């Protein structure tokens, strides 16, 4: 089933953009995380059995990156990597820790690195040291800026970025709210859509674009908007729960829409909305991004208005495929994209089934 949705997404994506690596998707059992130093427990049989890959994740406790890394590990194993040669480490949301982990991977002589930066602004430093060591580099999820990406092509370095264009996810969030219609949205009758924005890490381009483009979709559709609060909750459920609780305390029934940059924060928002005696899709609307299982269930139940599927399957497979290509002497595009998918009550069950 996973493959069914993936091939659908890929068919669309391959026409629309230069997506690399969707082909050959293989379903594998979820093997959980392999922390650095874990003993080899699986004998690999493919051509890549001796290849070593280092994977740096910005923070293991991030819900979305957990789905991503588990799928990445399963897929690498399905391609013939030995489990013991895949080292996945937790940056604990600290760039100094992550930079030290990268130094260790360089010293141990990995064949390729896959890096989910803690701070995107550290990319130039990381790129310089990894390139100097002659190791190919695949950045995932947190996109370095355009100036940094330009260096890769100018110098012909074996460095690429795999991710989705967050503008698309923001636009889809906004469109789902537009589709509700002003009549239903404008409960306080001021002629505007009154919203609060709950942001992820503000340094992260995904947070910046989702914040900007969700609201832009409303104004592009001719709706007037009124921002009641814009709070940072760092992609985190508990922080979002607190921020939304405060906003509800301050603005009460004037809040008509809650935009969350991701689903973990939408779950936190939902807790506070329910605690305040409000009812999603009746007297308040709530959208997230990622399509976490819990949120898909909420969309089906009508307790979250909608979400956007952030395709961790296509992204992790593309990242692995790019890493394999580099490590076997090939080259990659400098940007490898993937499409988001809008998720409403109409298709939430289908998306959920495809992820099982």
Q: Does 98 bind ligand BGC (CB under 6 A)?
A: no
- Nearest approach in angstroms of CB 60 to ligand BGC is 12
Q: Does 141 bind ligand BGC (CB under 6 A)?
A: yes
The dihedral of CA 41, 45, 50, 54: what is its sign?
A: negative
CA angle 4, 8, 113 (to 5 degrees): 85
Q: Does 310 bind ligand BGC (CB under 6 A)?
A: yes
Q: Shortest CA distance to 152 belongs to which of 178, 126, 180? A: 126
Q: Does 70 bind ligand BGC (CB under 6 A)?
A: no
* Closer CB to ligand BGC, 51 or 102, in the complex: 102
Q: Does 291 bind ligand BGC (CB under 6 A)?
A: no
Q: Does 171 bind ligand BGC (CB under 6 A)?
A: no
By CB under 6 A, name the one of 64, 139, 213, 285 that touches ligand BGC.
Answer: 64
- Nearest approach in angstroms of CB 207 to ligand BGC is 8
Q: Does 289 bind ligand BGC (CB under 6 A)?
A: yes
* Closer CB to ligand BGC, 62 or 149, in the complex: 62
Stretch in the footprint of ligand BGC (CB under 6 A) among 83-91, 199-207, 219-227, 346-354: 199-207
By CB under 6 A, name the one of 158, 204, 315, 316 that touches ligand BGC.
Answer: 204
Give the C-alpha separation, 154 to 150, whole Å: 6
Q: Per CB under 6 A, which of residues 315..344 are in contact with ligand BGC?
A: none
Give the C-alpha separation, 25 to 317, whole Å: 7
Give the C-alpha separation, 303 to 282, whole Å: 10
* Closer CB to ligand BGC, 223 or 289, in the complex: 289
CA 356 to chain centre: 19
Give the C-alpha separation, 135 to 269, whole Å: 42
Largest CA distance in the chain: 65
- Nearest approach in angstroms of CB 234 to ligand BGC is 8
H or E element at residue 240: helix 237-251
Give the C-alpha separation, 194 to 223, whole Å: 11
- Nearest approach in angstroms of CB 321 to ligand BGC is 19
Give the C-alpha separation, 138 to 24, whole Å: 19
Provide the token pair at 268.
């936190």
- Nearest approach in angstroms of CB 206 to ligand BGC is 4
CA 319 to chain centre: 13
Q: Which residues contact ligand BGC by CB under 6 A?
A: 62, 64-65, 141-142, 200, 204, 206, 235, 262, 264, 289-290, 310
């Amino acid at each position: 089933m996973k493959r069914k949705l993936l091939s659908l997404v890929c068919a669309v994506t391959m026409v629309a953009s230069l997506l690399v690596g969707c082909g050959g998707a293989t379903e594998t059992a979820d093997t959980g995380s392999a922390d650095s130093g874990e003993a080899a427990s699986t004998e690999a049989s493919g051509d890549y059995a001796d290849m070593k890959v280092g994977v740096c994740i910005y923070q293991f406790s991030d819900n979305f990156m957990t789905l991503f890394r588990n799928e990445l590990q399963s897929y690498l194993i399905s391609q013939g990597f030995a489990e013991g040669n895949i080292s996945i480490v937790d940056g604990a949301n600290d760039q100094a820790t992550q930079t030290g982990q990268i130094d260790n991977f360089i010293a141990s002589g990995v064949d390729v690195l896959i890096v989910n930066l803690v701070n995107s602004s550290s990319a130039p430093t990381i790129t310089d040291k990894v390139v100097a060591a002659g190791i190919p580099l695949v950045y995932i999820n947190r996109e370095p800026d355009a100036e940094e990406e330009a260096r890769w092509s100018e110098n012909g370095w074996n460095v690429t970025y795999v991710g989705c264009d967050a503008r698309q996810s923001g636009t889809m969030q906004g469109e789902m709210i537009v589709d509700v219609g002003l009549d239903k949205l404008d409960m306080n009758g001021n002629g505007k859509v009154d919203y609060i924005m709950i942001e992820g890490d503000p340094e992260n381009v995904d947070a910046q674009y989702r914040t900007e483009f969700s609201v832009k979709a409303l104004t592009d559709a001719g709706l007037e908007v009124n921002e009641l609060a814009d709070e940072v909750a760092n992609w985190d459920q508990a922080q979002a729960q607190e921020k939304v609780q405060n906003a509800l305390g301050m603005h009460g029934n004037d809040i008509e829409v809650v935009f969350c940059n991701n689903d973990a924060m939408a779950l936190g928002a939902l807790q506070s909305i329910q605690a305040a005696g409000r009812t999603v899709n009746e007297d308040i609307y709530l959208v997230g991004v990622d399509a976490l299982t819990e949120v898909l269930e909420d969309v089906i139940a009508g307790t979250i208005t909608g979400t956007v599927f952030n395709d961790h399957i296509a992204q992790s497979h593309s990242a692995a495929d790019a890493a394999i290509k580099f490590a076997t002497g090939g080259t990659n595009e400098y940007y490898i994209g993937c499409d988001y998918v809008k998720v409403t009550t109409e298709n939430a069950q289908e998306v959920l089934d495809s992820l099982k």
